[in-house]
Every structure is written in C-alpha cells, then in structure tokens.
Amino acid sequence: MGENADFLVIGLGAMGSATLYQLARRGAKVIGLDRFTPPHTMGSSHGETRITRQAVGEGRDYVPLVIDSHRIWRELEAETGEQLLNACGVLVMAPGVGETSHHGKPDFVARSTDAARAFGITHEVLNGKEVAHRFPQFLGLEGNEKAYHEPGGGYVLPERCIHAQLTRAKQLGAVIRANVEVLSITQTGAGVRVETTAGTYKAGQVVVSAGAWNAHLLGAPFDRLLTVNRQVLHWFELEGTSAYRANAPVFIWMHGATDVDYLYGFPPLPGDRRLKVATEQYETSTTADTIDRVVDPAESAKMYRDHVQGRMAGVTPRVVQAAACLYTVTPDRGFIIDRHPEQDRVFVISACSGHGFKHSAGIGNVVAEKVAEGRSSIDLSPFSVSRFGLNMARTSQTH
C-alpha cells in the first residue's frame, strides 16, 4: 500500500494517540500506524484505569505535562460526551518512620507535597489517624503514617482516552492504519522512509511512540537505555463495598523501604465488586514479543499475601481477573521526549517507566508543537537523551 504524509506516528497507545490527535488538530497531514488495533491489550495502555495526580513526586518537571493533560481530557469530554477523568482524589501514604522509595525517588510523600506547594495544587497533609477516620478501607494503620491527599487527582480510563483521541483525530482528517508492523525507519535528505508489512510510508518527520517496541525499532542508543519489565494487575473480589465510600480515593501505599514494598489501587468502579490493585517489579526483564501474558494464580496469591491482606477492607483472596502489561524503563526511570540524537527528523517518546499515562495528553500536545511548529510551551530539556551521556555511533538507519 504505502502512503505519504507530513507526519507519521508509529504506535497509537497513550502517547501516540495523543500526538496523532494534536497533529490533526493543527491541520497536518498525518498517518498513524499500529501493529495491532488500538486500544488493545498488548502494550502498556490497558487495564481499565490509570492513576492521575498533578503534584508529581517523580519531579516538578512533570507537573506542567499532567496539568495540561487534565485540561485536554476535560475538553475531550465536552467534545465527545465520554467520561475520561474521575477526580475521586489520590492518597499517597508511607510509614511515619524509616526510608521509603517509589519510582526511584525517596520520601515520595514529601516530594509530592513540595510539588503541590510549588504549583499551588490543592492538597492536604494527613497522618495515619486522620486517614483511618476519613478512609475506612485502609486497615492496620499505626497512626503515625504520613500521607498526601490530592482531591483533584483520581484516575483516567485509558482505553476510553485512546479511543476518544483516535476518533477525534480521524474526524479531523488523520489516517489510521492498524495491524501494520513497522520493519525499519530510515532518514533520508528529504524526510523519513518507513518500511512496513503494508508497504513503504514516507513523511517529513516521524514520531516513534511504540512503547515496549521502541528499543527494537530505534536501535542505538535506545537499545542500551530501555528495559522492558512485565507487570501484573490483579482484581480481587470484595465481600462488600461499604468501606469504599463515595470519596474513596485512588491510593499509593508505601509500606517498606524499597520500590517493591508498596501497592497501589483504585476504588471499585460504579456497580463493581472488585478491587484492582498492583505492585511493581524491576528485577526481571522481558521483551514485547516474548512476555508471558498469562498470569499464574500463584502470582495473585503472592500479591494478596504480601501486600493486600490486612491492609484493605473487605478484600477476599478470590481473583476475578488478572492481566499482564509492560513497563519500558530508563536507568533513571524518567521519560525520553526528544529527537533521535542522530536522526533529527525522528522524534522519540519513550520509557514512561510506569508513570506515563497521566502525562500522555499533555505530551501529545507539546510534541505536536515541537514537530509541527518548532516550539515548545513546556520545557522538554529534562527529558533529553543527552542526559545519559552515551557515546553514539553515527547511523542513518534503525531496525
């Protein structure tokens, strides 16, 4: 088949769907390619819900991106009639004493609080007694816990967000080609040539947002920077939902010293009697094509035993559903939002490191600004490839 466009977007998950939509809003001739039919369950953008919080403990550089994302999702809700963002609140909690870490950052509660104060984000600082009184779903609190509560946070519905952005992109003239595998990306003097299983596509610029497939598509230096980890989501049956009141927040609960000594979860969706919870692991790597997508019941049993039991009210060990997904992670667990260091017509969005979806709409907007208008309303320098200090051999082709 093969087609020409001003821009190609490769990968139409969280980041790609947002970028396609924003380029189409600007009147660009743009084509989106995806190996599957988005939204799908093969990457990092599925599982019903994703946490959103504006005071980002991972670093203040992220805050403008998520603030812009909230604005865009509310605009999309008005345009489409879909609910995309539920501001039920977010609670970030840690022990009152001892070290903790989340996404590689120490004292995440204090970092979240500092970001909220710096950007004027409405929030509260609570102790364990206050948490237990207001949110009875949390059990076993000693009372001296420290917690950050952001009432404007909550969760977004990832499949709906992707679908809404792709739908609006098509309405605005974007072309979407699903079930097309990209084989190679080659920059030429006049643009970029992309070989696929459906023919050759050519564009002035290409945005690569293929998640766990990025390292394979982009080659050096990304194949040295990006690690893919398998993560598992669990939905446990609830005996009752009375502890999960209307104001039940999304939560991130650090109960030990390391990045794996924690759980996160969501209040039951309306009419649902399941609690979705998960933790993270960074020790075992995989690839997008070799990941074991079947969740062993023993994995859910371990999740319940190590993290859920005695901490969450009404949760039974009965597993209603489980799913595997993929994190693509950089050495510092930060994002890459930058041009390819050796191919200036190839722009890369990658390595969202387990905390990307809440930023995705804003990232799509700022990347569209960058490639279509040559400007950026948000500082992207903290997300550059150059921060890793790698020596890169000059190349003109990626595989």
- Least confident stretch, 8-12, 13-17, 23-27, 268-272: 268-272
The string of pLDDT tens digits covering residues 114-131 is 999 999 999 999 999 999
Q: How confident is the model at residue 2 (pLDDT cuts 50, 70, 90)?
A: confident
- What is residue 394's predicted lDDT score, i.e. its pLDDT? 38
Identify the band that residue 392 occupies on the pLDDT scale cut at 50, 70 and 90: very low
Name the CATH superfamily for 4-46+158-223+334-398: FAD/NAD(P)-binding domain (3.50.50.60)
Q: What is the pLDDT of residues 162-177, one digit of tens each?
A: 999 999 999 999 999 9
pLDDT of residue 247: 85
Given pLDDT bands bounded at 50, 70 and 90, which one contains residue 1?
A: low
Angle, CA 81 vertex, CA 376 and CA 364 arms, to 5°: 20
Token pair for 128: 């364990």
What count of Cα atoms within 13 Å lies in the side-chain half-sphere of residue 193? 9
Output the CA torsion 236→241→245→247 (10° steps).
Answer: 20
Q: In what order do the strands lie in the sheet with 50-52?
A: 50-52, 154-156, 85-86
Residue ranges of the chain assigned to CATH 3.50.50.60 = 4-46+158-223+334-398
> Omega before 297 cis (within 30°)?
no
Among 46, 47, 49, residue whose Cα is nearest residue 85:
49
- pLDDT surpassing 50 at residue 316: yes
- The predicted structure's pLDDT at residue 96: 95
Confidence of residue 398 (pLDDT cuts 50, 70, 90): very low
pLDDT for 382 equals 97
DSSP tag of 142? -
pTM of the prediction? 0.96
pLDDT at 373: 97
What integer pLDDT is reported at residue 352 of this predicted model? 83
Q: For residue range 29-40, what is the model confidence (pLDDT) as tens digits?
A: 999 999 999 999
Q: Does position 57 have pLDDT exceeding 60, yes or no?
A: yes
With 90 as the cut, is the pLDDT of residue 390 above it? no
**Which pair of tokens denotes residue 390?**
């790698």
Q: Where in the chain is the domain with CATH 3.30.9.10?
A: 90-151+227-329
The single-letter DSSP state of residue 125 is: E
Q: What is the C-alpha to C-alpha distance for residues 368 and 357, in angstroms, rounded to an integer?
A: 17
- pLDDT average, residue stretch 235-251: 93
Residue 117's pLDDT is what? 98
- 3-state DSSP call for residue 132? helix
- 90-151+227-329: CATH architecture: 2-Layer Sandwich (3.30)
Task: Give the model confidence (pLDDT) of 265-293 as tens digits.
Answer: 999 998 899 999 999 999 999 999 999 99
Q: What percent of the chain has pLDDT over 70?
A: 97
Q: How many CA atoms lie within 13 A of 109 on its CB side?
A: 25
Q: What is the mean pLDDT of residues 305-313?
A: 98
**Alpha helices by DSSP H, the chain:** 14-25, 63-80, 108-119, 128-134, 158-171, 214-218, 222-225, 297-303, 360-368
245 pLDDT more than 90: no
DSSP 217-239: HH-TTHHHH-EEEEEEEEEEEES
The pLDDT of residue 165 is 98
